Amino acid sequence: LNWRVDRIRPTEVVLAREDPTAPNRPAITRVIPLYDPSELEKQEEAESIMNGGEDESGEAQ
């Protein structure tokens, strides 16, 4: 089995595997998170505090 890196996102890596015996099938994908979900929540909370309680649109929460 050979996997290739399909996409690299800020919080995850997406791997894809194509089946050479069935080229008409869509690729199988797997997503590997780069952080533990609890770490992401802490990071989002910290960013919210640093932004003065505003969300990404600039509106107060």
For residue 10, the enclosing domain spans 4-50
| Cβ-contact 12, 34 below 8 angstroms | yes
Within a domain: 61:
no
What is the reported pLDDT for 11? Answer: 86
| CB contact set of 17 (below 8 Å; sequence gap of 6+) | 1, 2, 3, 4, 27, 28, 29, 30
Within a domain: 19:
yes
Within a domain: 34:
yes
| Cβ-contact 6, 16 below 8 angstroms | yes
Number of domains in the chain: 1
What is the reported pLDDT for 1? Answer: 67
- Half-sphere exposure of 53 toward its Cβ, with a 13 Å CA cutoff? 2
Full pLDDT tens readout for the chain, 61 residues: 689 999 999 889 999 998 888 889 999 999 999 888 787 777 778 788 888 765 555 555 4
Within a domain: 39:
yes
What is the reported pLDDT for 16? Answer: 96
What is the reported pLDDT for 53? Answer: 62
What is the reported pLDDT for 7? Answer: 96
Q: Whole-prediction pTM value?
A: 0.58
